[in-house]
Structure formats: C-alpha cells, structure tokens
Structure 1
Amino acid sequence: MRSICWLNGFFILMIAFSCTSNINHPVDPTKLSEAERLELAKELAQNTVMVDGHVDLPYRMKVGGFTLQREILDVSERTEGGNFDYPRSKEGGLDAPFMSIYIPSSYQETGGAKVLADSLIKMTERLAVSWPDKFAMAYSPDDIEKNFEEGKISLPMGMENGAAIEDDLDNLHYFYKRGIRYITLTHGRDNLIGDSSYDTTRTHGGLSDFGKKVVKEMNRLGIMVDVSHISDDTFYDVMDITEVPVIASHSSSRHFTPGFERNMDDEMIRRLAENQGVIMINFGGSFIDQEYRERNEEVREHIVNWLAERGHSRNDPEAREYIEKYVADNNPFPTVKRVADHFDHVVTLVGINHVGLGSDFDGVGDTLPTGLKDVSMYPNLIAELLARGYSKEDIEKICYKNVFRVWRAVEAFAAGKS
C-alpha cells in the first residue's frame, strides 16, 4: 500500500481519492474520521462544479425592498439573514445557483406576472453588472464551466410558475431570449398550463390543452421543463408529451412524507429516470421529514399566539431567544442525515444518474435542517454521502454532471429543430 503524505494536508488526500479505482492504492472515505472526511468533502466541493437547481435570492431581494431604482442587496459581502451570498457560496463550493424567478400565484388573478418576471430578471442581471469580478450570468453548461475556471459564481435562471407566460406562447421565446433556462409549470394554484400539487381544484385534470403546447414549445426552444409543484396527473401528462429529459428542480421523495403530493412518489421517480431526467433534492424540513412536517404547524401556531399575546415581533431579542428554544425543545430540526436519506432512496430506486441538488435556499424560511442552514454548508452533505460510500464520481454526478446531461440534451434537441 502506498503511504499518503500529509505534508500538504488534504490536497494530497484529494489526489489519492481521485484514484480510488486503482485497487492497489485505495482511499476509503468511510474509514476516515469525521474531521478527515469533512476536509475531503471541502476539497471536493472546491474542485467540483456545483449546481443548485433552486435558490430564491431574487424574490428575497424584492421582499427586502430592493428595486432596480434603489440600492440592491449587496450579496457580494456576507449578509445578515438569508441563506445565500458570495462569501458563503465560496465557502460551500457553490458555483451555479439557479436564480428562481418566482411568480406568486396571486399574480394569476391580479395580472402583472410577466412584468414581475422581467423585474426579477433585471435584478439578477444587476448582480453580475455590479460585481463582475464575482458574479456572471450563465445561459448554458459551457457558460458555467467558463465562469468556474475564472472563479466567478454563475447566475443561471429558472422561472418558478409559468403564469408569466400568460396566454401567449410567444412569451416563451421572449423569456428564452431573456435567459430563462427552465420553467416550473405551476406553483401554489392551478394556472393556464396545468394543475398544481398544492391545489385541490383540479381545473384541467393534468395539463391543459394550452399546457401541452407549452411543453412542446419549451422542447423546441431549449427550455428545460421543471416538474416540481405540479400535480401527479400533470406530471404524467408531461412525461407523455416531452421529447427530452425533464428536471424536478427542488423536490424530494414522498417516501419520507406520505401524502405530500408536492414531493415525488417512487413510481414518478422511476418514470423520471426512464425519461433520463433528474430529481434535485429540496432541503426544506417539511420536504424531507414527516414528523417535522406534522409538528411544524403546531409549533408555528404556538409561536404566533405567543408573539400576539406579548406584542412582540419575531425580530425582538426576547422573541428570538424564546423561539429558538421552543423550536429546539418541541420540534427539533431534521439533520443533514435525513437529506442524505433522500439521495439514498433515489439511488436505490433508479441509480446515481438521476439525482441532484435543489436546496430551495432563501425559499423555505427557517425550516432548513441542522448542518444545511445556508450555502456554506454543502460540504456537510458531501461528507455524509462519502460516509455512506458515495464515490468521487458519484459526488460529481450529483453536483453537476446529471443536470448538465439533461440541459445539454435539451439544447441538442432544440438545435436540431432550429
């Protein structure tokens, strides 16, 4: 056995690990101490392109009162609150968070969905303009790889809720030109495209006739179809129509949350794999753990009542201290191990080629698990996967290779249609 020199720390360990296929010189991460494994995970995160399918920074900026006319949130520096900024992304090894252009379902009734989408796209672009040494827009896997080599964080964009298409297929072409590379067909309620997993109305019984045209046109243009948020019937309609692989940009396994239609059941995951698609695991506590999900509503109700009785806001020091202790005592957060369980389940069902990262950072509030509270903490998940026997190649597939395969297949199909 070759001895491993520790003079340069885990840089050398990383090199050895990359050669684990050589049975004469294996380095087995499962045999390392937790500290050693975490250092190896950090090396992997820093040296591997890492794509996250869903980060809600643009809407976080909007809710925070930042506009195109006013000062924009400075995420080039460490920020108070939120889950994403440049320093923490660099610490965690995140290279390409898909910026969610999120359209609340209320805009389907009030109008203005396209206008809102435009404003959030411009806000995202402004990050790259304001700090060009740190951020860059990305419209393809090639862009992300180029930006990675230059040390920049890429800002690809996906639209969450196809309501911004309104009733005009030409808007798909418009948003493709604006840089949108996936569209989550619905959100919290049924829309003109199809039925939502959160809505019980079942307006169309799946995709509408218009929605079927939307899916075909997305295929033709080169926009990935995102099956997160849609009802089961809508999902199967998409599977019957799409000519290219699809993604679930921020969904988890329903195996761990029975009855929660927002997640995907085993049969859906199998069908997604047959389509050569990818499910990108959501980190939110209510997505990954049934017990937490059930207790969370009770805890939230108690906290709301406690705040009202005392006239406090959540940001008051006394309230923050009380809430933190009450949550810890009455509904402890799931841990990074539960997130890893979802990866294990998908891999057991359909193999390593159909799973990725879809954190929903800045979108799931204070429900994130212990060990995955912000974008600096991806190495904790990688370390847990290494402890379970995942290889360097497995980690690379999870971090970017799987979603790049889908994205390039969508690009190639569209190129053939142009």
Structure 2
Amino acid sequence: MKKSYSLLLIGLMAWACQPKEAAVDYTSMSDEERLKVATEIAHKTIMVDGHVDLPYRMKVGGFTLQREILDVSVRTDGGNFDYPRTKEGGLDAPFMSIYIPAGNQQIPGASKALADSLILMTERLTETFPDKFAMAYSPADIEANFASGKISLPMGMENGAGLEDDIANVEYFHKRGIRYITLTHGKANLIGDSSYDTVRLYNGLSEYGKQVVQEMNRVGIMVDVSHVSDETFLDALEVTKVPVIASHSSVRKFTPGFERNMSDELIQAMAKNGGVMMINFGGSFIDSAYAAGSAKVREHIVNWLAENNLSRSDSAAQAYITQYTAANNPFPTVQKVADHIDHVVALVGIDYVGLGSDFDGVGDSLPTGLKDVSMYPNLIAELLKRGYSEEDIEKICSGNIFRVWRAVEEYAQNQ
C-alpha cells in the first residue's frame, strides 16, 4: 500500500512539473491572423444577441415566401439580418424583438394585438424554414438548436404596453414564448416612466408596474430595464427577486446627457443585482459625436440635391451620396463598441456584459465594421487585440446572459 501511494505521489509530482501549454497571445498576432481566430471563435461559441428588430422589419417589409418582397432565409439587399449573413457572423440566438410602438398605447387592445401578430410572424418563420430557424424558450433549447446547426429565435417583448392593463397577460405572454419584457419604450406607459419621455407620471414604477415585475419573476420572464428612466431602473432593482437585464443599452459616460444609456451608478447597481448589460451598437448609443456628424452630412446632401435638382433615387445622386458619405464618414467604428465593453469590465467585471446590437432597429447609424450580423468576428478580433481571453469572450457572447436566464428559470420553478 505504501509503495503504491509513493508511486502515485511521484507520478502526480512529475505531472505537475511538466511544462504547461502556454496561453495564446492574441495581442501579438497580425490583424489578419486575429480575424481568422475570431471567426473560428464566433462559430464554435454560442452567441446570443439581446435585441434584433427583425419581426417589425418583416411586418413593414411584408414577410412572404415570394422572393420579390422580404425573405430572410436568403441574402437580402436591405436590413442587417438574414440567414446567410447570420451564419457567416456566427450568431446563434438573436432575441427577436416583439416591438410595440408607443403610439399603440393610445388604443386599447392595440398593443397586445400587435404583440400577438409579431409572435405569430416569428413562429411562421421557423415553420416555413425548419432547417434554418427554430424557436427557443430556454438556454437548453438554444444549446440543442446550436448542436443541430439551426439559428434559435428566442423572443423578448420591447415595451410592456403589450400587457395592456391586465396582469394575467404576463403569464399569457410567457406561454406564448416571451422570455423578457422591456418595461417601457419611448413614452411612459402603465408600468413606469421612460428615459425618452420628459413626462414622469410616477417618478419610477407605478404600483401596477411593481406587480408586473413581481409577476414576471413568478412566471420566469426576465425584467429588461433598457428604455426606462433612472428612477424606474432603480425601482425595478428594488422589487425584483432575481437578476435583471438591459437587452440593448450602452454606457452613458460616452454619451453625456443621454439617459437612454446607463450611468456608472446604474451599471454598478445592476452588477450588484447580478444582472447583465448587453451593449447596443447604434451610433448615437456609442458615440456622442455621431449625431452631430451625421446631421452635418445630411444637411450637405439635402442642399446638394436641391442645387442640382436631383432626388435621392437618381443614379448620379446615389453615386455622389456614397462618395461624399465615405469621405466625410460620421460613423463610429467597431473600436467604439469595444470601448463600451472595456468600460463595463473595468467598472464591475467580465461577468456583467453582453451583446445587444439593436440590428434592424437603429437604421443606418451602425458603426464601420459592424454594419450587419455577418460582422461579429470584427468585434471579437478587437477584443482579442485588447487582451480578452476565449473564456472572456464566451461569457460576453452567451455565458453571462445564460447565467441570468437560468437564475430566472430556477426562481420561477421554485414558486
């Protein structure tokens, strides 16, 4: 026995003394080498995007099997999302935004009706192209779809107005597949105040809004604090029993005065809650200089069109607009998005940040290098260049949002 133990000990010591494989230094690679590695990481790692506005784009564009309208199973001329580009970029689970415009709040029943129609449209997409897309209601569903090579389509409702004034609709929409609800959008609603609204009806959550958060906890829907006012944000953290998410928000430090983004104090409060902040890629979200730069370009183009008696649809005008915009590029770059991730990580750590692009929701404001879903590897390459490890990137891509999502599931299962 003693001899066997001695041999085992000697073996363990010998193993411990063996030289370990050195960690890869991505920072010393060339940009081309790093992008190749980043693309490989994107394809082998489950990537979740917290917010893609495809359903509303399909509604506006007329989703149909007829190729001449909108069919995202093939490469499309417009928009930021379609199946081929999604596969190229390594995106596996874009949260489909069931978007309710604030205007619908003025018509009783209109918000819920629109939410139902967009859910049906999303489901129809998976039914029409079952080899490409699949519904997903949990991290486990996403993992199973990833293993079979399908793009998962989890759903989040953007604007709690879809609940109308009936608390029972929280459970109803959970059964319909909604897995997060953004409490407000551009205007205050029955739930609480919005960051975009100068009117503050409740100075935070309403009493009904507090009940909504509690009911979301109970049934297993993540609380999304993007779009809410600072006071609503803090009220939601006080009421919730589980971590929250910000599905598509960026850092206010880079956009002073823009309440739609999150202040350092809110980021720290969310981290203390255990939540995750998913960075929005939109130009006005990541760079305060973008709005001024883009306005200047637009003004010049409008004046040039008038002086030359041309419309935007004229080929000569399109050529000039392309050339002028490129020469006077107002767009931020992929590096700016990485700056926002850097800031969150430096402030609260790697466990509280994710991706929430707002593709198909922020128009043409997207940064150079992140114009559509095929370009996620550019962001991963930039993170590798800054010293992030593969483990870090996995957390950003899906680990952090899965942690929150599973905590919400577990709490609901124990109620």
**Is this a same-fold pair by TM over 0.5?**
yes
TM-score, normalization by structure 2? 0.91
Are the equivalent residues in 1 in contact too, given 2:294–2:330 (CA < 8 A)?
no
C-alpha distance in 1 between matches for 2:105 and 2:318: 35
| SS of equivalent residue, structure 1 residue 98 | strand
- Contact 2:290 2:332 (8 Å CA) reproduced: yes
SS in 2 for 1:366: coil
1:88-107 to structure 2, matched below 5 A, reads 88-107=85-104
Q: 1:195 aligns with which of 178, 185, 193?
A: 193
Q: Over aligned residue pairs, what C-alpha RMSD do you find?
A: 1.9
Q: Which residue of 2 aligns with 1:6?
A: none
After TM superposition, give the deviation of residue 321 of structure 1 in Å: 2.5
- Among 284, 287, 291, the alignment partner of 1:286 is 284
1:303, 1:323 within 8 Å by CA — same for their partners in 2? yes
Contact 1:215/1:225, CA 8 A, preserved across alignment: yes
Partner secondary structure for residue 106 of structure 1? helix
Report the secondary structure of 2:364's partner residue.
helix
Report which stretch shifted further, 292-301 or 97-106: 292-301
Q: Distance in 2 between matches of 1:212 and 1:312?
A: 54
Please report how far the alpha carbon of residue 239 of structure 1 lies from its aligned counterpart in structure 2 after TM superposition. Answer: 0.9
**Once the two structures are aligned, what percentage of the paired residues are identical?**
72
Partner Cα separation in structure 2 for residue 88 and residue 50 of structure 1 = 14
CA distance in 1, matches of 2:125, 2:101: 22
Cα deviation 1:159-215 (Å, max 9, x = unaligned): 000111010001111111100000011111111111111000111111111111111
* Code of the aligned partner of 1:110: I
Q: Which has the larger radius of gyration?
A: 2
Partner of 2:385: 387
- Aligned equivalent of 2:15: none
In the alignment, which residue of structure 2 is the partner of 1:12?
none
- When residues 261 and 23 of structure 1 are mapped into structure 2, their CA distance, relative to the original with a 3 A threshold, is farther
Deviations, residues 261-312 of structure 1 (Å, cap 9, x unaligned):
0000100000000001000000011100011123333434454565577776
Corresponding residue of 1:53: 50
CA contact (8 A) 1:67 1:123 kept: no
Q: In the alignment, what sits opposite 1:152? A: 150
Instruction: Give the AA of the match of 1:386.
Output: L
Match of residue 73, structure 1, among 59, 70, 74: 70
Moved more, 298-307 or 345-354: 298-307
Structure 2: which 5+ residue stretches go unaligned? 1-18
User: How far off is 1:105 after superposition?
Assistant: 0.5
1:25 to 2:30 alignment: no
- Is 1:396 the counterpart of 2:394? The answer is yes
Q: Please, which runs of 5 or more residues in structure 1 have no aligned partner? A: 1-21
User: 1: CA distance between counterparts of 2:112 and 2:80?
Assistant: 26
Instruction: Mark the CA change 1:394 to 1:175 in structure 2 (over 3 Å): closer, same or farther.
Output: same
Contact 1:227 1:249 in 2 (8 A): yes
Task: State the one-letter code of the partner of 2:320.
Answer: Y
Matched positions, count: 396
Q: After superposition, what is the alpha-carbon deviation per residue over 1:65-103, rounded to whole angstroms, capped at 9, x for unaligned?
A: 337999973211111111101110110000000000001
Relative to 1, partners in 2 of residues 1:240 and 1:306: Cα closer, same or farther, differing over 3 Å? farther
Identify the match of residue 256 of structure 2 among 255, 258, 265: 258
Corresponding residue for 2:339? 341
Q: Which residue does the alignment assign to 1:219?
A: 217
Distance 1:179 1:305, change over 3 A: farther
Which residue in 1 is equivalent to 2:134? 136
1:238 aligned to 2:253?
A: no
The aligned counterpart of 1:179 is 177
